[in-house]
Structure 1
Amino acid sequence: MEIQPSSILQSLLLVPLTLLPIMNPLGTAPIVLDAARGKDHVLKRLSRQVAINCWFLIVGSMLIGTYVLDLFGISLPIVRVGGGLLVASSAWRLLQGHDSDEVTDAVAEASSPDLSETEIARRSFFPLTFPLTTGPGSIAAAIALGAQLPRTPLLYVTGAGIAALGAALTAAVVYLVYRNGGRLMMRLGEVGTLVMMRMMAFVLLCIGIQIMWTGWAELNHLNP
């Protein structure tokens, strides 16, 4: 069966267009900047490592996520409901202006001046990659994307390769946003940054509710 270039492009863009609004790297950029303590070379290393970690998490979720769910007997609609609930609750905390929780405390600890830059880079997975950048909501969405891959061997390999390229494109956007986030925050100023984060939190809340609604509709369809 011949694969059309338009369908390849559509599949390639589907991954970043689906995941980036949920991952919301623009809203997380100030936290990454704070973890780097304002040092440009540390920010560059952190941005690169977080992007690499995100690629592995996204690809792993797409390729093996559905098999893990089958192993534990968890349906994809349940994952959507749970992931959407977590995304919505995180967005609600951001809207309420809670400046201190377990994640931000972990960032503060990782960015302590007593820690070396090597130690800061080593801690880039938690919490900067998970759960701040690639959290439960984006993982659930990645699993849903992986469930749409064709099951015939040749088409599966092709689809998996395209999905991996889409994940690489997503990780590249994350890197660029985090790497240049400091400049953007300085241009926006403190008030502009606060307004932007509240707006992104509201968008994230809507995305979380949409994910939950999709999962709930699928559950009702399966159990009329």
Structure 2
Amino acid sequence: MLIVFLKAAILVPITLLPILNPFGNAPVFASLLGNVGRDAEKRLARQVALNCFFLLLGAMFIGSHVLMFFGISLPIVRVGGGILVIATGWRLLHDNGQDAIRTQVATNQTEVWSDDEFKVRSFYPISFPLTVGPGSIAASITLGANAPTRLLDQVISQGSAALGAALTALVIFLCYRYANGMIRLLGRLGTMVVLRLSAFILLCIGIEIFWHGALDLLTEAGLAQP
């Protein structure tokens, strides 16, 4: 039973981390972070990891029930989320001000955020849709859709899912916590290249998510072949 529990827990990060791609999103996170102190950077990374943990957990446990209650299908989630990801990627791809932020000297004044600003910035767009987007939400809903009927099996399933989500959130925290260190290691030119490539990849991911959702809707309407 312990082996089954651990295997189920490992399945969650193995499934979700390639979709979440926190390592690839780290330069984008650093770009959105701006010029803040190290304590604020750590605090924001921790808050983003907590946000992502609860988003993934909510999608696995109640995601399918919420969609069923409101009559929303997964293709609709993919279309709407894809548009959000496309908008974020497009903005980052054409935002020249972010390059200047990354090359500011250490003597520049450090930004101070209020508690409300921390909550807002940690959730949108960093936690959603940059990190936990429609693809990872759809995958989380799929992971939690086939819940067992026996009470003991449900406890094991939900416990392993929670552990897997916690491991996933830990990886997100570590990648974002040391995002600025990665930026300093890459240098000005390397940072600009990685940031632009990450923004372009994010844009392409958004288009792919949107296309799959639109294709599913067209298939349901009988206008396209499955």
TM-score range, shorter chain: 0.7 to 0.9
AA of the residue aligned to 2:132: S
Question: 5+ unaligned residues in a row in structure 2: which ranges?
Answer: 99-109
Distance, in Å, in 2 between the alignment partners of 1:19 and 1:183 is 20
Deviation, 1:208, is: 1.0
Match of 2:15 in 1: 14
Distance in 2, matches of 1:49 and 1:5, equals: 26
Q: CA deviation at 1:181?
A: 1.6
How far did 1:98 drift? Answer: 5.7
Cα contact 1:66–1:143 (8 A) shared by 2: no
* Equivalent in the alignment of 1:147: 141
1:194 to 164, 170, 192: 192
Residues 162-212 of structure 1: per-residue CA shift (max 9 Å, x gap): 333332222212211222122211122222212111000111112111211
Deviation of the 1:21 alpha carbon: 6.0
Going from structure 1 to structure 2, the CA distance change for 1:5 and 1:171 (only over 3 Å counts) comes to closer
CA offsets per residue over residues 12-70 of structure 1, 9 Å max, x none?
410222223698233212333x35x2x22332222222212221122113322222222
Q: CA offset at residue 91 of structure 1? A: 0.8
The amino acid of 1:54's aligned partner reads C
CA contact (8 A) 1:86 1:137 kept: no
Paired with 2:12 and 2:111, the residues of 1 have a C-alpha distance of 42
> Secondary structure at 1:189's aligned position in 2?
helix
Aligned to 1:171: 169
1:59 corresponds to 2:60: no
TM-score (norm 2): 0.75
Give the root-mean-square deviation of aligned CA atoms: 3.1
- Equivalent position of 1:127 in the other structure: 121
The whole-number CA distance in structure 2 between the counterparts of 1:22 and 1:218 is 30
> How far has the Cα of 1:83 moved from its partner?
0.7
Alignment deviations for residues 97-128 of structure 1 (CA, whole Å, 9 cap, x no partner)? 2649xxxxxxxxxx744x5xxx35x5433112
- Structure 1 residues 18 and 159 mapped into 2: Cα distance closer, same or farther (>3 Å)? farther
Go from structure 1 to structure 2 and tell me whether the alpha carbon gap of 1:163 and 1:18 turns closer, same or farther (over 3 Å shift).
farther
Q: Structure 1 residue 205 and structure 2 residue 203: aligned?
A: yes
Q: 1:123 to 1:171 in 2, by over 3 A?
A: farther
Q: Distance in 1 between matches of 2:8 and 2:54?
A: 24
Contact 1:12 1:162 in 2 (8 A): no
Does the aligned pair in 2 maintain the 1:29–1:177 contact within 8 Å? no
In the alignment, residue 179 of structure 1 is paired with which amino acid?
Answer: R
Do the aligned partners of 2:5 and 2:156 also contact (CA within 8 Å) in 1?
Answer: no
Q: TM-score, normalised by structure 1?
A: 0.76
For the 8 Å contact 1:50–1:125, the answer to whether it is kept is no
Q: Percent identity?
A: 37
Question: 5+ unaligned residues in a row in structure 1: which ranges?
Answer: 101-110
**Aligned residue-pair number:** 206
